[in-house]
Amino acid sequence: MTYIRLSQSRVARTRRLWRALAIWALLFASTICGQDPSPPAADPAIHPESQSDVFDRVIANEKQMELALDEYERTEKVEARRIGSDAKPEVRVWRLFPAGPAMNKLPISVDGNPVNPEVYRESLEKLEKYLVWAAQGGAAQQEAYAKAQRKRKERGDLIATTHDAFVFSRVGAEKRGEATLAKYAMVPNPKFKAGTRNAIIFSKVRGTVWIDEQSGELARIEGSVVEDISISLFLAKVYKGSHFMQERYEMIPGHWFPSYEQYDFDGRKFVVPFAIHERTFYSDYKRVGPPKDAVGVVRDELSKLAGEQTTK
């Protein structure tokens, strides 16, 4: 069977939609107390504080995490398969470096070294110039930051329009290492009336969320498509059984960040099958700060590279 490869922009849009689902689960999970059907009896083994208080903390921590990610660099390793059964994935690795209104991606090898040292140095020089620019307060900079803020607002609007899409029910608890995670089932709300194309997607998804109640952090979320989803005016379709999951850990003391994501989507575009089967690993989180501070990190690295070149 012949498969088409989706454009990177379309893959990115699909990722953003499912990440919005994860964020939505946090921002509106506190509504579960007032929704029908009634949730099953709570697990008495985990109930240190009221359900509302738990999710209030989760919501606050989620907002802090999003802001913190704007100041932390990290390594992103993506394993992509054309079909889920491919034994040997295509592996791509990037160093993600926050740059104010943008996120810079520097390609590196699996072992963390530059793929091409000369190209890498040139990319760092361009990043340095951009950070200097982003740290200034001119009209162009304000426009760039406003554009980034509009993207966040679009995601927020999507979340806001789908706040009635799910019913959350506490179904128990699970151990992960030394932590005990509260587990919630997430099912489509039969009373929900979708008003947008993206909102329709949420009505065809079921999922599960795990919360670390001690820290008030989202630890894991999974979602599966339970009914075929038509997109792009029925020119494409995502098939039932497609799946998404994300895991988070305390990667930095006091900061829970994504450590792993997995996307398994199958469908068709026109009459040709397509597939997105990706596993993404995040590691090496390091704070670089806002652009005015991050530029110093880049300059130090450029100086180090220049010194290494001199000694050769």
pLDDT digit string (tens) for 220-265? 989 898 988 887 666 778 889 999 899 999 999 999 999 999 989 8
With a CB cutoff of 8 Å and minimum separation 6, the contacts of 130 are 99, 102, 104
Average pLDDT over residues 12-29: 48
Quote the CA–CA distance of 55 and 186 in Å, as a whole number: 15
Look at the block and give the residue holding tokens 């180090």: 304
pLDDT digit string (tens) for 171-208? 999 999 988 999 988 888 888 777 666 667 778 888 89
pLDDT at 53 over 80: no
Quote the CA–CA distance of 277 and 80 in Å, as a whole number: 6
The pLDDT score that the predictor gives to residue 213 is 84
Quote the CA–CA distance of 307 and 114 in Å, as a whole number: 16
Residue 32 is given by DSSP the state G
Tokens of 47: 């109930």
Sign of the Cα pseudo-torsion (147, 77, 240, 32, in order): negative
The pLDDT score that the predictor gives to residue 42 is 40
pLDDT digit string (tens) for 104-140? 999 999 999 999 999 999 999 999 999 999 999 999 9
> Under DSSP, is residue 10 helix (H, G, I), strand (E, B) or coil?
helix
Q: Are 162 and 187 in contact (CB under 8 A)?
A: no
Tokens of 84: 């889920």
CA distances from 99 to 126, 132, 222, 296 (A): 11, 10, 30, 12
Lowest mean pLDDT among 60-69, 111-120, 240-249, 283-292: 60-69
* DSSP codes of every residue in 104-166: EEEEE-TTSSBSSHHHHHHHHHHHHHHHHHHTS-SHHHHHHHHHHHHHHHHHHHHHHHTTTSE
Beta bridge partners of 90: 80
Q: Are 98 and 294 in contact (CB under 8 A)?
A: yes
**Mind spelling out the 3-state secondary structure of 202-228?**
HCCEEEEEEEECCCCEEEEEEEEECCC
For residue 117, whether the previous peptide bond is cis, meaning omega lies within 30 degrees of 0, is: no
Residue 4 is given by DSSP the state B
Residue of higher predicted confidence among 249 and 158? 249
Write the burial class of residue 149 (CB in 10 Å: 0-12 exposed, 13-18 middle, 19+ buried): exposed
Beta bridge partners of 114: 108
pLDDT at 33 over 50: no
Amino acid found at 244: F
pLDDT at 30 over 50: no
Write the burial class of residue 310 (CB in 10 Å: 0-12 exposed, 13-18 middle, 19+ buried): exposed
pTM score over 0.95: no
Domain definitions of the chain by residue range = 8-311
The pLDDT score that the predictor gives to residue 9 is 53
Rg over alpha carbons for the chain, rounded to the nearest Å, is 21
